[in-house]
């Protein structure tokens, strides 16, 4: 008579350098826990360790959008069903305490209880390229803003003749004028020092403008290849389409419908009823960047789309 293989569920608490795994059986009994390196060899050893305890039906992973991204991808590529697990709330941690084994076990139990059911966002192909480029672009925009603020701060305390020469210019004209400044070799003079500082910062702004423009061109090309139908919608440009693609991930089939997408973007109405008061309120969670993209799209559509206004 053939023996029935034991069903087991894994839970993993992820970190930058290590992953701590726990495994429980179908009745919730803790079988073992162990720590592994957070690299490809560690992922391979972790999966083999899980399978030694029985047939792995699901694995709950914390931090699939950060430290657990590589592990979640590895497990999914090897046929393991991965479930995204939220980190335990403060009340649960005050009651049980906190450690890597405790968090890993809690992740496994969340999967067994059915309180964790979300499929992690896919991280592959064109959508992953868009995500990486958007991060680089956001960093460049932030650095450009800081550089422009520095430019204006230097100008405020610069010698009066230099202030008068550059007064009245908008930001674009100011940057262009500062790049043309020639301080000379003798920087002991305050005006020459201010010119050198202004020119250096202005060149930095110009370079960041070029990086942002290059990122915009690449993102527009990728968004058109990944979601041409979305870009045809009124109010949806490459930036908004790219953000929505990143929010959904490379596996849009993980969303069960429009309601799931609305909840993911923080635009789903949720009940807020008490006693005789029957009402709903807006969901305040979800991806706030996707929420912003939808908001701006609606603002544009309210102006140009009769159907939206109606």
- CATH architecture of the region 7-113: 2-Layer Sandwich (3.30)
Q: What is the pLDDT of residues 25-60, one digit of tens each?
A: 988 999 999 999 999 999 999 999 999 999 999 999
Q: What is the pLDDT of residues 113-135, one digit of tens each?
A: 988 888 888 877 899 999 999 99
Distance CA(220)–CA(11), nearest Å, equals 39
With vertex at residue 198, the alpha carbon angle to CA 197 and CA 201, rounded to the nearest 5 degrees, is 85
The proportion of the chain whose per-residue pLDDT surpasses 70, expressed as a percent, equals 96
pLDDT of residue 256: 83
pLDDT of residue 223: 94
DSSP 185: S
pLDDT band at residue 217 using 50, 70 and 90 as cut-offs: very high
pLDDT band at residue 1 using 50, 70 and 90 as cut-offs: very low
In this predicted structure, the answer to whether residue 182 has a pLDDT above a threshold of 60 is yes
Q: Considering only CA atoms, which of 70, 93, 94, 91 is closest in space to residue 15? A: 70
The answer to whether 71 and 43 are in contact (CB under 8 A) is yes
Most confident stretch, 8-12, 167-171, 232-236: 8-12
Distance CA(213)–CA(207), nearest Å, equals 10
In this predicted structure, the answer to whether residue 214 has a pLDDT above a threshold of 90 is yes
pLDDT of residue 93: 66
What is the chain's mean pLDDT, rounded? Answer: 90
Query: Quick one: 305 exposed, middle or buried, by C-beta within 10 A (0-12, 13-18, 19+)?
Result: middle
DSSP 122: P
Length of the chain in terms of residues written: 310
The answer to whether 30 and 53 are in contact (CB under 8 A) is no
Most confident stretch, 74-78, 94-98, 144-148, 266-270: 144-148
The answer to whether 6 and 32 are in contact (CB under 8 A) is no
pTM: 0.79
pLDDT of residue 19: 95
pLDDT of residue 172: 92
The H-or-E segment that residue 84 falls in is strand 82-85
Report domain extents, the chain: 7-113, 125-226, 255-309
State the angle between helix axes of 125-156 and 238-248 in degrees (0 to 180), rounded to the nearest 10: 130
In this predicted structure, the answer to whether residue 232 has a pLDDT above a threshold of 50 is yes
pLDDT of residue 121: 84
Phi, psi of 123 (to 5 degrees): -130, 75
CA distances to 25, 35, 43, 95, 183 from 59, rounded to whole Å, are 12, 15, 13, 24, 63
pLDDT band at residue 89 using 50, 70 and 90 as cut-offs: low
pLDDT of residue 92: 64
Q: What is the pLDDT of residues 277-292, one digit of tens each?
A: 888 888 888 889 999 9
The answer to whether 50 and 24 are in contact (CB under 8 A) is no
């Amino acid at each position: 008579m053939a023996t029935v293989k034991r069903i087991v569920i894994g839970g993993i608490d992820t970190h930058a350098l290590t992953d701590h795994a726990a495994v429980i059986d179908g009745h919730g009994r803790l079988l073992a826990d162990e720590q592994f390196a957070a690299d490809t060899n560690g992922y391979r050893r972790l999966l083999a360790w899980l399978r030694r305890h029985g047939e792995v039906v699901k694995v709950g992973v914390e931090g699939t959008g950060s430290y657990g991204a590589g592990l979640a991808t590895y497990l999914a590529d090897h046929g393991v069903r991965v479930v995204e697990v939220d980190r335990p709330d403060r009340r649960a941690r005050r009651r049980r305490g906190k450690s890597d084994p405790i968090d890993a076990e809690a992740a496994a139990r969340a999967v067994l209880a059915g309180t964790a059911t979300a499929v992690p966002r896919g991280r592959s192909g064109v959508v992953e390229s868009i995500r990486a480029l958007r991060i680089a672009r956001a960093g460049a925009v932030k650095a450009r803003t800081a550089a422009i603020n520095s430019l204006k701060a230097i100008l405020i305390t610069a010698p009066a003749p230099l202030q008068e020469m550059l007064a009245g210019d908008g930001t674009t004209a100011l940057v262009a004028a500062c790049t043309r400044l020639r301080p000379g070799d003798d920087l002991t003079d305050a005006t020459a020092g201010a010119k050198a500082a202004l020119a250096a910062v202005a060149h930095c702004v110009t370079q960041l403008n070029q990086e942002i423009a290059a990122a915009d061109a690449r993102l527009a090309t990728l968004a058109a290849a990944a979601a041409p139908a979305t870009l045809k919608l009124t109010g949806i440009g490459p930036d908004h389409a790219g953000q929505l693609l990143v929010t959904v991930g490379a596996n849009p089939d993980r969303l069960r419908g429009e309601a799931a997408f609305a909840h993911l973007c923080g635009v789903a109405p949720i009940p807020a009823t008490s006693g005789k008061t029957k009402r709903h309120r807006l969901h305040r969670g979800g991806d706030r960047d996707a929420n912003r993209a939808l908001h701006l799209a609606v603002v544009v559509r309210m102006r140009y789309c009769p159907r939206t206004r109606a």
